[in-house]
Every structure is written in structure tokens, then in C-alpha cells.
Amino acid sequence: MSDKLDDQPVPRWLAAACTGCGKCCIDTNYMRSLPATKSDIRRWRREGREDILEYVDFVGAGVYVLWVKEGVESSRCPFVRKTRGKPTFHCTIHESRPEACRGYPLTAGQMVKLGCEIVGEIEAVALRISFAKK
């Protein structure tokens, strides 16, 4: 089913409804080979964010990959933390997060594949609306 949604862009207002489930930030498939843009690199240098820059690997030809330290690629974001006492996560670099994270999710299919909690919220609301119409 999510294959049909792979070309469906996600409106920014929907992405703003993030529940903080952290599934994107701890998903191995999404996190592997996550790119950093040149503007990310410039911003982090300007902000003095050596803590972030130490997890960036220059691949070549202006291509940077995130979450690589000393040649080892991490399977999850090193800056995501479990919220104590809650089933959610929070980003410790939210204000300086990479463009790849700022742009998540790109498609509805991506949300479904990762098990994004926003999808469940949407389904619940749609179901209530459907019953209300009857």
C-alpha cells in the first residue's frame, strides 16, 4: 500500500504535527547514508557546532554523509534522546538539525513504511469524521 503513496508529497502542516515518536530518527534504513548539504556544513561551522561536525564524513565532490564518526556509520542519529518517562524522543540539536531532518517526511509512503505515529493519528481522525457523517 505504501508504494502507491511513495510519490505523494507530505504537506508541511502535516509534518509539523510530529508526535515525537522518534521512529524516523532511530530507523536504520532512513538514517544510513543520510546526506548533509553544503549549507548545513556552513551553518554548523558558523555556529561552532563541532559536536555535529564530528559526525559528518566528506565523501567527495561536495557530498557529505551524516552520522559517521571515525569511519563508522551510525545506524541512528547520535543526537536523539528518549524522553524520560514517556514513549517519545527528542532532538538535542533541533534548532541546528540537518536539512534532511527538516524536510522529513518527504512522502506519505515514507511515513507509512517507518510506522510514523502521525499516520495513526490521521486514521483515527478520519474514522471519527466518517462515523460523524453517518
Burial 36-52 (b: 16+ CB within 10 A, else e): beeebbebbeeeebeeb
- What does the mean pLDDT of the chain come to? 84
Position 93 scores a pLDDT of 95
Tell me the C-alpha distance between 121 and 132, whole Å: 17
Q: pLDDT over 70 for what percent of the chain?
A: 95
- Render pLDDT for 6-33 as a digit per residue (tens, 0 to 9): 677 777 777 677 787 888 888 887 777 7
Q: Which region among 57-66, 88-97, 112-121 has the lowest average model confidence (pLDDT)?
A: 112-121
Which of the two residues, 6 and 54, has the higher pLDDT score? 54
- Render pLDDT for 92-114 as a digit per residue (tens, 0 to 9): 999 999 998 887 777 778 888 88
Got the DSSP string for the chain? -HHHHTT-BPPHHHHTT-----HHHH-HHHHTT-EE-HHHHHHHHHHT-HHHHTTEEEEETTEEEESEETTEE-SS-TTEEEPTTSS-EEETTGGG--HHHHT---BHHHHHHHT-HHHHHHHHHHHHHHHHH-
Evaluate the omega torsion of the peptide bond into residue 105 and state whether it is cis, within 30 degrees of 0.
Answer: yes
